[in-house]
Structure 1
Amino acid sequence: MYKNIFKALLLFAVMLLVSACGLLQEPEAPSATIEAIPLEIEEAEEEVEVEEPTAEAEQPPVEIEEADEPEEMDEAEELEEEVEEPPVEEEEAPAAGGLLIFDISQDASEVRFELDEDLRGSRFTVVGSTNQVAGQLALDFNDLSTAQVGEIRINARTLETDNDFRNRAIQNEILDTGDYEFISFVPTAVSGLPESAAIGEEISFTIEGDLTIRDVTEAVTFNVVATAVSETEISGTATATVLRDTYGLTIPEVPNVANVENEVDLIINFVANAS
């Protein structure tokens, strides 16, 4: 009898612990389908040459006496002046420097995180993923020195693993997605690009930027491998490794989980199409 009472108390204590760490609370739903923040293309500054004045330009202008115009104009001349030319419609200018804007396709893209932990005494790799990623980039395949990458946003409320209890712990306790719905990466530099890229050619480069998780922002470098599938589609993978403790991501103490890895691998498999 006492044994059963002890088991009941232990089970009750575990349930309290689980409830306290957010494993039984339903996480906040996404506020809306994620959308890209429009990329503002930075135009290259053109150098304007200033011509020095010549000796002829320095001389004072010669005044020329104009002949008196006839007081009356011919009727034909008056009619010619009255006819107004139709307005010329201005054509829309292409993107600066021949750049094309590409949007990350959510249907064909995925963001993933991976880290190891001990689960019930066995080493296990936790994988969480979502397709709720958005961003834009601008490319001119003939001149990659002009490439630009906009802010990449991920809806943390949609990250899922293979375990509902873990999902709730991640969203309610670790990432606190009720207050911090989005994870963002703001690029600051793109390095290692070749001069140009041909269709079907694989290229490698790096993107440096500021990664914000919850209320912490740190500099992170993604290694990127990408291919121009066609003139209007590119695909690739961007990878980086961050440390949990850098962002203050503490794992709640729960039964059967131990030795959660501090290093977290971030992987973005993306397909982007010209808009």
Structure 2
Amino acid sequence: MSVRPADRRKAAMRAGARVAFAVLCTAPGAAGARATEAPLKFKILPVRSSVRFDARATGHTVHGVTQQVSGEVVFDPEDLAKNARVTLQVQAATLNTGNKVRDRKMRESHLETERHPLIGFRSSKVEAIAPSLREGETQEMNVSGTLSLHGVDRNIVFPVKAVRRGGDLLVSGETTLRMSDYGIPVPGFLFVKVQDQVKVMFEVVAAPDGTGS
């Protein structure tokens, strides 16, 4: 049975289309389009962020806070476990409890801020319940890393909640530290004694790098 010229032309066109599609799919540009997007970088905004602590003492609780928080968060929104990293720094001398005498003693005798001006955290691993964090989503995760405090580096895990909202990234969490683990003398005077354990809380807002101040 002979094949009509028109049928041959149609078959040739279909074959050509398949070849063109295959070439496009294997081209460098197409591979890049299918590949995971580059990780996003967010810069922490001090004016919208804070680190707080609660230290229980005899008869009361001492509350401290600072907004002198800086750092960045980098992550792939489609794969949180890949290339995610968090760096955060706090100016130790800016921690404020609302009592000038107590603050001076805290800075000079306990945190020794002239010798150890920065409190820092650098992540080493991010473990999330779900793999992604897209705009409008909330995600719970554990962020492991190294906390540098009072000249001592210790591994720690922060349970955190992250939310992407209006283009910004909101991250909050809390943990409990022991002052003695970091060589910090536990404050105490006469009948007033501060507990070794201190509750640390943070709320940071980060904007896409280059858009915030």
Distance 2:61 2:83 in 1: 36
Distance 2:64 2:114 in 1: 18
Match of 2:90 in 1: 154
**1:169-206, Cα deviation, whole Å (9 max, x unpaired):** 11000000011100111211111242223322211001
Contact 2:186 2:196 in 1 (8 A): no
Q: TM-score, normalised by structure 2?
A: 0.76
| 2:110 maps to 1:110 | no
- State how 1:1-275 maps to structure 2 within 5 Å: 97-118=37-58, 123-230=59-166, 232-255=167-190, 257-258=192-193, 260-275=194-209
Q: TM-score, normalised by structure 1?
A: 0.60
Structure 1: stretches of 5+ with no match in the other structure = 1-92
AA paired with 2:205?
Answer: V
Aligned length: 175
Structure 1 pair 252–198 and aligned structure 2 pair: CA distance change class (3 A): closer
SS in structure 1 at match of 2:160: strand
Distance 1:195 1:253 in 2: 46
> Which 4+ stretches in 1 moved above 4 angstroms?
none
Distance 1:198 1:210 in 2: 27
% identical aligned pairs? 27
Query: Which one has a larger percent strand, Structure 1 or Structure 2?
Result: 2
SS in structure 1 at match of 2:81: helix
AA paired with 2:201?
Answer: I
Q: CA deviation at 1:147?
A: 4.6
What is the RMSD of the two structures over their aligned residues, measured on CA atoms? 1.9
**1:40-80, Cα deviation, whole Å (9 max, x unpaired):** xxxxxxxxxxxxxxxxxxxxxxxxxxxxxxxxxxxxxxxxx
Distance 2:187 2:86 in 1: 34
Q: Which has the larger radius of gyration?
A: 1
Contact 1:234 1:271 in 2 (8 A): yes
Contact 2:93 2:113 in 1 (8 A): yes
Contact 2:49 2:67 in 1 (8 A): yes
SS in structure 2 at match of 1:146: coil
AA paired with 1:200?
Answer: G
Distance 2:131 2:155 in 1: 26
SS in structure 2 at match of 1:145: coil
Structure 1 pair 141–252 and aligned structure 2 pair: CA distance change class (3 A): closer
Contact 2:81 2:126 in 1 (8 A): no
Contact 2:177 2:200 in 1 (8 A): yes
